[in-house]
Structure 1
Amino acid sequence: MRDRVRVVVQGQGRRSRRAGIAGALWAVGELAVTVGVVVMLLVVHQVWWTNRQALSAAHEVVRELEERGWAPLPEGGGEGEGQVQGEGEADSGAGASVGPSGGTGGSSGEAAGNPGPRTGKPPPRESAYGILRIPRLGVAVPVARGVDKRSVLDKGYAGHYAGTAQPGAEGNFAVAGHRNTHGEPFRYINRLRVGDELIVDVRGKRYVYLVGQTLAETTERDTGVIAPVPRSIVRPGAGYSEPDAYITLTTCTPEYSSKYRLVVWGTLKR
């Protein structure tokens, strides 16, 4: 009788393990691609779509203000707790503007001296009452009271800081705006130069300011930049020392970051 030959097949276990590892890697790769696509779509929505929505809506508000009349001037700029606004704030109100601790004085209706009589009640927080035009940048943005992120800035508006002057009045008419996303009206204010015009239209009246100084970088707690006589408390050489009618634009810097604030100052053209 012939001996039976026993054949042992080796390597099947290894191949099985390799197939299992390959399947797991494939699944991980598919998951990574899916996550990447989702993240990309979120970025597109945040950076591109919100821009289009806010910009279109803001342009419509500008058109309505020009064609259908103007909202009454606000009593004040809104609420806040001593911080210079930028688009990076996580919440919608607290810490997003300058209150009494910021040294801006009392309500803008009294201390700043509103131009012209008021008619009716002040507009609600989210209602635009004026237009800020920046000819060099081709910008025309609605102005609303307060620097609330959700109800003002995310709509593509410029937000009027609490307690700061009304347009055309002595003191400091200070506004904040997004630099990136949500219409990004202040994206290129770093390109403004001395002598450029900043035009504010309110109820058929026009106030023209001329850019005088730019502060490329300061902290969010530098509330001196929106004081009645604006002067940085972080960089004392930047700002002014005499009373006048000022305008201040603030936004975040560097781009896509809320670490610092970029400031542009101007004075009323007499």
Structure 2
Amino acid sequence: MRVPVVQHRGRRRRALGRRALWTGGEFLVTAGVVLLLLVVHELWWTNREARQGAEHQVRALERQWATPGAGSGDTPSANAGLAGGSSPRRGTSAGGSTTVTGSATVPRRSQAYAVLTIPRLHLRVPIAEGVSKQNVLNKGYVGHYPGSQQPGQAGNFALAGHRNTHGEPFRYLPRLRLKDTVQVETSAATYTYTVDRILPQTSASDSGVIRPIPRSIVKPSYGFSRPGHYVTLTTCTPDFTSRYRMVVWGTLTSARAR
């Protein structure tokens, strides 16, 4: 009489399969939670942290400018000057009214030294020298392109800012319309530019938009053909990509010394 042999291989195989499925499920759930936390960090925490830091920096600049003798100091957190603290130069505009033009001194790299205000966007943020992500843009600041002009100077005062995450100061830049105003405040003066050109999309390498006489080299019908006093605002487009750039240009229409 034969004794039946119990086969355990099938049971083991099924048990291993269930264990593998359980382990895989746990891994997917864990990965999903980690991914969700990363998204929350990028979309919420970086914005919160950067905005608080930017607001603090604006207040620091305002306090320093309100202090008698502001403009002679030189601190990393609040540069006292249009461009290093010297007084603005006065001249006469084509219409005969008095204008204020900037000095030639350049702030230190990553130094916050001015405040950008865009009424339509309810935006008020610091401007810092340079466009470093780590030291400028990721702090929620707007960065000044090195080599472009300073506020109020003849030429092109060119700026860059994040559209998404890290404070996203230029999140709503597409809402700007022609004749909207853009103000730049320094310890020396307040400059008001009026928006008169908008380039919805161009290549990220379109360097023509920040030249002294700004004109797109990708879409030459956008830009200017004569010297002037310009401001340029640039940001990534469309949302959550960095493939293209949006550009807004304005022309200096008034300047008021402090």
Within the candidate set 204, 211, 215, 2:199 is matched to 215
CA gap of 1:237–1:62, structure 2 versus 1, over 3 A, is: same
Matched, 1:203 2:199: no
- Whole-Å separation in 1 of the counterparts to 2:141 and 2:160: 9
Identify the residue that residue 45 of structure 2 maps to in structure 1.
49
SS of equivalent residue, structure 2 residue 62: helix
Cα pair 2:204 2:244 within 8 Å, conserved: yes
Matched, 1:72 2:91: no
**Structure (1/2) with the larger strand percentage:** 2
SS of equivalent residue, structure 1 residue 269: strand
Which deviates further from its counterpart, 15-24 or 50-59?
Answer: 15-24
- Whole-Å separation in 2 of the counterparts to 1:37 and 1:116: 51
Using structure 2 for the length normalisation, give the TM-score. 0.82
Matched, 1:63 2:59: yes
Deviation at 1:6, TM superposition (A): 3.7
CA gap of 1:220–1:234, structure 2 versus 1, over 3 A, is: same
- Paired residues in the alignment total 226
Cα pair 2:82 2:102 within 8 Å, conserved: no
Deviation at 1:244, TM superposition (A): 1.4
Query: What's the CA shift string for 1:67-117, capped at 9, x where partnerless?
Result: 222523447xxxxxxxxxxxxxxxxxxxxxxxxxxxxxxxxxxxxxx9355
User: Where do 5+ consecutive residues of structure 2 fail to align?
Assistant: 66-78, 85-99
**Within 5 A, what are the aligned runs for 1:43-122?**
43-69=39-65, 71-74=80-83, 115=101
CA gap of 1:167–1:123, structure 2 versus 1, over 3 A, is: closer
CA gap of 1:54–1:245, structure 2 versus 1, over 3 A, is: same
Query: What's the CA shift string for 1:198-225, capped at 9, x where partnerless?
Result: 1111115111111111111111221110
User: Where do 5+ consecutive residues of structure 1 fail to align?
Assistant: 76-113
SS of equivalent residue, structure 2 residue 215: coil
Matched, 1:39 2:35: yes
Identify the residue that residue 86 of structure 1 maps to in structure 2.
none
Residue identity in the other structure for 1:32:
L
Identify the residue that residue 79 of structure 1 maps to in structure 2.
none
Using structure 1 for the length normalisation, give the TM-score. 0.78
**Within 5 A, what are the aligned runs for 1:144-159?**
144-159=128-143
Residue identity in the other structure for 1:232:
S
Identify the residue that residue 163 of structure 2 maps to in structure 1.
179
Cα pair 2:64 2:80 within 8 Å, conserved: no
SS of equivalent residue, structure 2 residue 148: coil
Cα pair 1:226 1:248 within 8 Å, conserved: yes
Residue identity in the other structure for 2:119:
P
Residue identity in the other structure for 2:193:
Y
Cα pair 2:137 2:161 within 8 Å, conserved: yes
SS of equivalent residue, structure 2 residue 101: coil
Q: Which has the higher contact order (CA 8 A, sep 6+)?
A: 1
Deviation at 1:237, TM superposition (A): 0.8
Residue identity in the other structure for 1:115:
T
Query: What's the CA shift string for 1:183-206, capped at 9, x where partnerless?
Result: 110111011110111111111511
Deviation at 1:9, TM superposition (A): 4.6
Cα pair 2:141 2:161 within 8 Å, conserved: yes
RMSD over aligned Cα atoms: 1.9
